[in-house]
Amino acid sequence: MNRPTVRHARDGFRWDGVDLLRYKDEGAAPFRDVTRQVLFDEVPAGTQWRYFEVAPGGHSTLERHQHTHAVLVLRGRGRVLVGNRVHAIAAHDLVEIEPLAWHQFRADTDEALGFLCLVAADRDRPQLPDDAQFAALRADPVVAAFLQPENP
């Protein structure tokens, strides 16, 4: 690995030498209008630091896994489901996703939601809800309103 010490920010939440990637492979899991940039890989060792951006009206995958997420919202506004609670989030908020908590990020319809997300480099694969788990989440009307019909 031979990166420059400083990689300057560009306009639009891009950085020199950082590729704009697909969030996940198309068809691998449900999501809408999300991009991914890996800012630091194994720096510090054992971690990966990513920047995700959810376009207005878009959403990340509804999933859970053993590994945790430490999230700092950098831009925009939206909502996040963590466990069985929905929270409004905006720039500079911190979000912690604990092991096996169901989670999904949704951008507001009029503004993108961009956030940094720190994870373990070696991590378990996300699980998607089965029909019974999805129904259990939807039993709460606030969660049901958050989880729109395109899920899971």
Query: Mind telling me the catalytic residues?
Result: 117
Q: Which residues contact 71 (CB under 8 A, 6 or more apart)?
A: 94, 95, 96, 97, 115, 116, 117, 118
Q: Which residues contact 86 (CB under 8 A, 6 or more apart)?
A: 79, 80, 142, 143, 146
Closest CA to 93 of 103, 106, 79: 79
